[in-house]
Amino acid sequence: MDPETVEFPNLPERLIGLGELADNLWWSWQPSARMLFKMLDRQAWKESGHNPDKMLREMPSEILASAAANDDYLRNYDVVLSQFYRYLSDKSCRFLNSFPCDPNTFAVAYFSAEYGLHRSLPFYAGGLGFLAGDHIKECSDLGVPLVAVGFMYPQGYLHQHIREDGWQENIHESINREAAPISRVLDNEGRQLVVRVPFIDPAIHVGVWKVNVGRISLYLLDTDIENNDPWNRGISARLYIGDIEQRLRQEIVLGIGGAEVLEILGIKHYLMHLNEGHAAFAILERIRDRIQEGMPYPQAIEQVRNTTVFTTHTPVPAGHDVIPFHLMEKHFHSYWPALGLDRDAFLQQGIHPEQPHAGFNVTAFALRMSAYCNGVSKRHGEVSRQMWQSLWPGASESEVPVDHITNGVHVPTWIEPRMKRLFDTYLGPEWLTDHDNPLFWELIDKIPNEALWRTHYWLKIKLIDAVRERSRLRWAGDRVSPSIVIAGGTLLDPSVLTLGFARRFATYKRAELIFYDMERLKKLLNDRWRPIQIIFAGKAHPADDPGKQIIQRVFNAARDPETGGRIAFVEDYGEQLAQYMVHGVDIWLNNPLPPMEASGTSGMKAALNGVPQLSIMDGWWIEGFNGKNGWAFGHKEVDGNRDVADAAELYRILEEELIPMYYNVSDDGVPLNWVNVMKNSIKSNAAKFSARRMVKEYIEKFYAKGLESVLLHQNEG
């Protein structure tokens, strides 16, 4: 069952490796590999949306032939390809010493409903997806033997347009499967592999796709195939469908279907890591396998528990799926007999003792069935232990077996290439290889202030150019009104202190907090000598009307002449815009309602690139803030509505600390104290909030221990 060999008909023999390169997302975090595609034809690269797969398919053979005859191009090509092949062949499994490296056996099967990998694969909604994407990229870099499972969302592109009146419109664009960096997994007859989700009645089938993420294979499940009836074809159409039954079907497909796909492909794995509860039903398949081999139920559960890792991301009870019993019965009535259970014993596994009649609580089930559970920051660990305490009757809060592993970001993906070159120069070229070593980052002080500032300033101009270009295209192409163009950021000024606020527009993120006292804010925006400007971006969930209302108000503020063109709302937030923003704004603003931000990761991306935080004490920033690497507020608990207090602190910090520091520049125009904060931001956060630190923690705390228990077992057996 070899994956489809992708055809690039115009590719000359001498450049045949470009096809392989295009087919592995490794290029997305290797500037030198990206350059290879860009050098072929800059315009085509841009028009493809930085998607080499698409670009190579459409590229005229003359361009490729001329590259194949260009010595300079070929030298670069040979270097990048040799790096690529070396990367792929290094299967060292350095971090799981006890693990026998064998190509069909994996230590970990990682399940997630979304993956944020690159703009050409729109299989994400937000932070959870980027965390999963960064996790598997880092596992690839570290050589962790892991296989990943997720969904293919054929209608994953949800473009955001803001109407004249400020209301968000969602434009669904179907993905062109042939032009995305994915390939069909084929069966023995050379057709796309189709797998039936076992024991689920009525039947559901999934087609299987594969994405190469460096050394990691990510298998994607697609229900939009002919074998399914129309109702089932839409199961994987898009992320997080509101209808609870359709969501249950999604979870059945991801968990039970995903586990079956691995089984059919002959991919053995010892541990399972569930990124949030959406794939929790995969646990059932692991139990069923053991029952089928004749193991008694209690022993099967024990073995599965000792090899299951569950990461929870949601700090509010309402965010967890609770499936009504009648729906569980409808879809699982053929399943529980396969486990040797009756209805009640089966449903009992998902009962939350505080709401025993509410339904089957998927998270409660996953927590019970996993020996290794964690929240995604120190604070979120505490919140989770409080929230789930009743699942462990008699345990005190600190005894609740939910640990924490703070999130991190994949450094090669999120470091801006020009900033990377600056680090190469002053930290030495080894810094990237050893980037979770905090000692390296002490060398940040060697970077001349002026050099860091100029690099940052260049990135700010690049961001503002990109924002203006988007507005220009909307104006010229869609004929939108000039006031929309202004709201879209055409009046932004690179010399002005620029705040960035970009994330999903869920109400708890409080995008409007800074508007709390509009008169006070207008004074800051319109200050003649020391103005500020704010760039907003983010989508509301299509079903979230309160979130859309916030966007509408922000948008209307942006086109109100009284805010002086100093507020921008940039449409269609996604991976590409996120890159521009975390690299190019001066300060990263984040003020969710504590303790609702489980971790947050966009601020980590900013910090790595020398963009300090202005953030409320919640999520990762409680661990990140050290008094000199940015600003923090909201330390105190507040009863009831805390907007007043939080807004007051926000204004005070801006007026008394941030603005004066930013505009206090040396004779050659460098804000020295500010640059010092930038340096501290990089120095203290880059290693600590890297995906490398995070994955190593998963290995040490969970993967290695789980594996030990398996290997011990095997030796006994």
Residue 205, SS3 per DSSP: strand
Q: Which range in 85-93, 123-131, 197-205, 290-298 contacts ligand PLP by CB under 6 A?
A: 123-131
Shorter beta-carbon distance to ligand PLP: residue 109 or 581: 581
Q: Which range in 122-130, 157-165, 297-305, 557-565 contacts ligand PLP by CB under 6 A?
A: 122-130
Q: What is the CA radius of gyration of the chain?
A: 26
Using CB atoms, what's the residue nearest to ligand PLP?
127
Could you tell me the end-to-end alpha-carbon distance of the chain, in angstroms, rounded to an integer? 32
Report the site for ligand PLP in 352-411 (rule: CB under 6 A).
none
Q: How far apart are the C-alpha atoms of 583 and 144, rounded to whole Å? A: 29
Contacts of 237 (CB under 8 A, 6+ apart): 153, 154, 155, 224
How buried is residue 466: exposed, middle or buried, by Cβ count under 10 Å (0-12/13-18/19+)? Answer: middle
Q: Which range in 77-85, 267-275, 308-316, 599-607 contacts ligand PLP by CB under 6 A?
A: 599-607
In the complex, least distance from residue 210 CB atom to ligand PLP, rounded to whole angstroms? 23
Shorter beta-carbon distance to ligand PLP: residue 277 or 619: 619
Shorter beta-carbon distance to ligand PLP: residue 377 or 498: 377
Distances (CA, A) of 417 to 47, 79, 137, 423, 485: 21, 18, 18, 10, 30
Shorter beta-carbon distance to ligand PLP: residue 52 or 500: 500
Residue 137, SS3 per DSSP: helix
Q: State the residue for tokens 């009756």.
A: 342
Q: State the residue for tokens 């789980």.
A: 706
In the complex, least distance from residue 133 CB atom to ligand PLP, rounded to whole angstroms? 9
Helix axes 643-652, 518-525, angle to 10 degrees: 20
Shorter beta-carbon distance to ligand PLP: residue 132 or 650: 132
Number of residues that bind ligand PLP (CB under 6 A): 12
Distances (CA, A) of 520 to 585, 642, 646, 652: 22, 18, 14, 10
Q: Which range in 242-250, 253-261, 595-603, 701-709 contacts ligand PLP by CB under 6 A?
A: 595-603
In the complex, least distance from residue 209 CB atom to ligand PLP, rounded to whole angstroms? 22
Q: Binding residue for ligand PLP (CB under 6 A) from 19, 432, 574, 651?
A: 574
Q: Which range in 74-82, 462-470, 601-609, 651-659 contacts ligand PLP by CB under 6 A?
A: 601-609
Report the site for ligand PLP in 221-240 (rule: CB under 6 A).
none
**Residue 351 and residue 364 in contact, taking contact as beta carbons nearer than 8 Å:** yes
Shorter beta-carbon distance to ligand PLP: residue 113 or 486: 113
Q: State the residue for tokens 């490794």.
A: 26
In the complex, least distance from residue 502 CB atom to ligand PLP, rounded to whole angstroms? 8
DSSP count for the chain of H helices, then E strands: 32, 20
Check the CA dihedral 644-646-651-656 and report its sign: positive
In the complex, least distance from residue 201 CB atom to ligand PLP, rounded to whole angstroms? 37
Enter the DSSP assignment of 654: I
In the complex, least distance from residue 601 CB atom to ligand PLP, rounded to whole angstroms? 5
Shorter beta-carbon distance to ligand PLP: residue 151 or 573: 573
Q: How far apart are the C-alpha atoms of 715 and 717, rounded to whole Å? A: 5
Q: Binding residue for ligand PLP (CB under 6 A) from 3, 52, 122, 127?
A: 127
Residue 502, SS3 per DSSP: strand
Shorter beta-carbon distance to ligand PLP: residue 114 or 141: 114
Shorter beta-carbon distance to ligand PLP: residue 594 or 600: 600
Q: Is 613 in the site for ligand PLP (CB under 6 A)?
A: no
Q: Is 126 in the site for ligand PLP (CB under 6 A)?
A: yes
What string of H, E and C letters represents the secondary structure of 280-343?
CCHHHHHHHHHHHCCCCHHHHHHHHHCCEEEECCCCCHHHCCEECHHHHHHHHCCHHHHCCCCH
Q: Which range in 151-159, 475-483, 570-578, 636-644 contacts ligand PLP by CB under 6 A?
A: 570-578
In the complex, least distance from residue 575 CB atom to ligand PLP, rounded to whole angstroms? 5
Beta bridge partners of 274: 111, 310
Name the H helices within 506-642.
518-525, 545-558, 575-584, 602-608, 621-624
Shorter beta-carbon distance to ligand PLP: residue 118 or 286: 118
Structure tokens belonging to residue 623: 């661990």
Q: Binding residue for ligand PLP (CB under 6 A) from 411, 452, 578, 707?
A: 578
Amino acid at 462: K
Within 13 Å, how many C-alpha atoms sit on residue 410's CB side?
Answer: 26
In the complex, least distance from residue 129 CB atom to ligand PLP, rounded to whole angstroms? 8
Distances (CA, A) of 640 to 242, 383, 505, 594, 694: 30, 18, 22, 12, 35
Q: Which range in 126-134, 230-238, 641-649, 681-689 contacts ligand PLP by CB under 6 A?
A: 126-134
Shorter beta-carbon distance to ligand PLP: residue 368 or 503: 503
Q: How far apart are the C-alpha atoms of 455 and 680, rounded to whole Å? A: 16
Binding-residue pattern over the window 519 to 558 for ligand PLP, x denoting contact by CB under 6 A: ----------------------------------------
Report the site for ligand PLP in 486-525 (rule: CB under 6 A).
503
Q: Is 575 in the site for ligand PLP (CB under 6 A)?
A: yes
**Residue 246 and residue 235 in contact, taking contact as beta carbons nearer than 8 Å:** yes
DSSP of 138-198: HHHHHT--EEEEEE--TT-EEEEEE-TTS-EEEEEE---GGGSS-EEBB-TTSSBPEEEPT
Shorter beta-carbon distance to ligand PLP: residue 331 or 548: 548
In the complex, least distance from residue 404 CB atom to ligand PLP, rounded to whole angstroms? 16
Q: How far apart are the C-alpha atoms of 149 and 111, rounded to whole Å? A: 5
Q: Which range in 47-55, 155-163, 571-579, 705-713 contacts ligand PLP by CB under 6 A?
A: 571-579
Q: State the residue for tokens 């309602």.
A: 593
Binding-residue pattern over the window 654 to 693 for ligand PLP, x denoting contact by CB under 6 A: ----------------------------------------
In this structure, the strands spanning 105-112 and 268-275 are parallel
In the complex, least distance from residue 604 CB atom to ligand PLP, rounded to whole angstroms? 8
Q: Which range in 197-205, 367-375, 448-456, 573-581 contacts ligand PLP by CB under 6 A?
A: 573-581
Q: Binding residue for ligand PLP (CB under 6 A) from 95, 106, 130, 423?
A: 130
Shorter beta-carbon distance to ligand PLP: residue 269 or 313: 313
Shorter beta-carbon distance to ligand PLP: residue 494 or 574: 574
In the complex, least distance from residue 503 CB atom to ligand PLP, rounded to whole angstroms? 3
Shorter beta-carbon distance to ligand PLP: residue 407 or 563: 407
Shorter beta-carbon distance to ligand PLP: residue 118 or 288: 118
Q: Binding residue for ligand PLP (CB under 6 A) from 601, 613, 615, 681?
A: 601
Binding site for ligand PLP (CB under 6 A): 126-127, 130, 503, 574-575, 578, 600-603, 605
